[in-house]
């Protein structure tokens, strides 16, 4: 329980239809900054593990005795775990709260990362990667839902951009660690890097005691008093700066939609299917690029391991531009339009990387691909939970992200097949096609969400049905 849950706030009529609107009108304050810091660290821990596995693939093959095919299966196991984590974690987040699932997911992820570092054989790695995937996705799904539910409507896209800065910070750290330690280290160096990921066991309890539960989740569980106390305390802080705008609540009927009604709506199911298809393509394309780029550099283009790490370090430094660009644009453009345009732009450097042989073109195309594909995924992270009613938001987001992660799982197996048949060009061109083709579905069938209340999006979806 946090201070925002317990301190007394100003009197209120405790109208459930008004509480989300009161939350949406708030300015950005210190509590928001504390929450987003913890959320960013949380997301970074999950990304550290997945990025590290991609970077140390050559070392695992060499020192752990795994074949390329076994590494592909281990990568697939991680994404299979993410599918399970998204579905299970999403449902549990609707039942027990966003914060609880995020915290426990982080702990499970950290235990899986430690197990990977200690794994004596392929079978243990397979199991540990599955467990890690479950924890990563359960935590991330709840985390994204938390952001769209607890941050002001006009800035939630920007806060999603802020949280994705975890990728920007962690990516060069992982690349630098791999560059400095793996080539010159011993056969167990890759294991030591995984053990560092266990720090999540320290972060999880801090998040639990500092962050309040989602206001909208409290309302969905008829815990209006708890939701009121959190919002009232935030309003008390905000009123110290000056008067607040009048809340603009949506009709009460859109405030409480049962899980059965939400999943029984043809329009909402159509949205769920459309976003699942779109995110599947984006995830498949992203992980074809990310997880196979290192192997393409070393095996396909004959770079030394050290040179390949240096190139990827440059890509990750360039990637710093992604959250900055997203913060400038994401709340100014309708989400589904942003997804289509950034997907089209991502195809250019991906194809360039696939056909490049000159050092300058490999470096330039790979860096540009990192930036633009990152914009696509950031937009999806903001968009997915915005499109689903509160009572089904955890499960619905979990379904969409889990279907997307099937694309990530397939990138391991199909990436190996594509590379075997057509080399690096086959992998990168396939990634470009996936980004573009699947984003078209979003443009035609996705709802409008940018700068709109979540309850307003739900009301429009139910009305259209």
Exposure string for 344-353, b = 16+ CB within 10 A, e = fewer? bbbbebbbbb
Alpha-carbon separation of residue 407 from 70, 83, 400, 402, 415 (angstroms)? 18, 10, 11, 9, 11
Q: What is the pLDDT of residue 1?
A: 59
Distances (CA, A) of 301 to 308, 318, 356, 425, 431: 9, 21, 9, 11, 18
Q: Give the pLDDT of residue 464.
A: 65
CA–CA distance from 349 to each of 111, 219, 298, 465 (Å)? 37, 45, 19, 40
Of 93, 158, 91, the C-alpha closest to 323 is 158
Cβ atoms 317, 431 nearer than 8 A: no
Distance CA 318, CA 195 (A): 27
In whole angstroms, what is the distance from residue 338 CA to residue 331 CA?
10
- Tell me how crowded residue 333 is: count the other CB atoms within 10 A of its CB: 15
Q: What is the pLDDT of residues 272-302, one digit of tens each?
A: 999 999 999 999 999 999 889 988 998 888 8
User: Residue ranges of the alpha helices (H) in 97-155?
Assistant: 98-118, 122-150
Residue 407, classed as helix, strand or coil, is helix
Q: How far apart are CA 395 and CA 98, in angstroms?
A: 11
Total H helices, total E strands in the chain: 21, 0
Cα 335 from Cα 219, distance rounded (Å): 26
Count the Cβ atoms, other than its own, within 10 Å of residue 25.
18
Quick: pLDDT tens for 423-459: 999 999 999 999 999 999 999 999 999 989 898 888 8
First to last CA, the chain: 39
- For the chain, residues with pLDDT lower than 50 are 8-12
Write down the domain spans for the chain: 7-239+254-464
CA torsion 363-369-370-374 (nearest 10°) is 170
Q: Which helix (H) or strand (E) holds 286?
A: helix 266-295
Under CATH, domain 7-239+254-464 is a member of which superfamily? Answer: MFS general substrate transporter like domains (1.20.1250.20)
Nearest Cα neighbor of 374 from 430, 330, 314 is: 330
Alpha-carbon distance 196 to 181, whole Å? 13
């Amino acid at each position: 329980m946090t201070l925002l849950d317990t301190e007394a706030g100003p009197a209120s009529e405790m109208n459930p239809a008004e509480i989300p609107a009161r939350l949406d009108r708030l300015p950005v304050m210190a509590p928001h900054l504390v929450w987003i810091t913890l959320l960013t660290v949380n997301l970074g821990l999950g990304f550290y593990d997945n990025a590290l596995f991609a970077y140390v693939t050559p070392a695992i093959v060499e020192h752990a005795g795994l074949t390329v095919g076994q590494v592909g299966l281990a990568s697939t196991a991680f994404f299979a775990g993410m599918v399970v984590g998204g579905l299970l974690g999403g449902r549990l987040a609707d039942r027990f709260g966003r914060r609880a699932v995020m915290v426990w997911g982080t702990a499970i992820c950290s235990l899986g990362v430690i197990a990977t570092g200690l794994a004596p054989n392929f079978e243990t790695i397979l199991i540990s990667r599955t467990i890690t995937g479950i924890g990563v996705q359960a935590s991330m799904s709840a985390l994204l839902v938390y952001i769209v539910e607890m941050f002001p409507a006009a800035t939630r896209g920007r806060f999603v951009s802020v949280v994705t800065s975890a990728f920007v910070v962690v990516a060069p750290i992982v690349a630098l660690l791999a560059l400095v330690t793996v080539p010159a280290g011993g056969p167990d160096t890759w294991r030591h890097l995984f053990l560092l990921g266990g720090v999540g066991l320290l972060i999880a309890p801090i998040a639990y005691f500092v962050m309040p539960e989602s206001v909208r989740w409290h309302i969905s569980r008829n815990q209006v008093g708890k939701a009121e106390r959190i919002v009232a305390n935030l309003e008390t802080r905000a009123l110290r700066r000056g008067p607040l705008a009048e809340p603009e609540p949506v009709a009460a009927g859109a405030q409480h939609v049962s899980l059965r009604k939400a999943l029984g709506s043809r329009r909402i199911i159509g949205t769920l299917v459309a976003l699942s298809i779109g995110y599947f393509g984006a995830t498949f394309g992203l992980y074809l690029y990310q997880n196979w780029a290192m192997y393409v550099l070393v095996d396909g283009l004959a770079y030394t391991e050290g040179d390949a790490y240096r190139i990827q370090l440059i890509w990750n430094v360039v990637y710093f531009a992604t959250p900055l660009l997203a913060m400038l644009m994401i709340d100014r453009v309708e989400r589904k339009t942003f997804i289509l345009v950034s997907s089209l732009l991502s195809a250019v450097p991906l194809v360039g990387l696939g056909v490049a042989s000159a050092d300058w073109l490999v470096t330039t195309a790979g860096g540009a691909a990192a930036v633009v594909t990152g914009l696509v995924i950031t937009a999806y992270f903001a968009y997915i939970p915005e499109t689903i009613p509160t009572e089904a938001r955890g499960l619905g987001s979990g379904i969409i992200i889990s279907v997307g992660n099937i694309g990530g799982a397939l990138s391991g197996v199909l990436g190996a097949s594509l590379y075997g048949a057509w080399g690096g060009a086959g992998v990168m061109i396939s990634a470009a096609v996936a980004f573009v083709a699947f984003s078209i579905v979003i443009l035609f069938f996705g709802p409008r969400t940018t700068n709109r209340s979540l309850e307003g999006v739900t009301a429009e979806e139910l009305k259209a049905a």
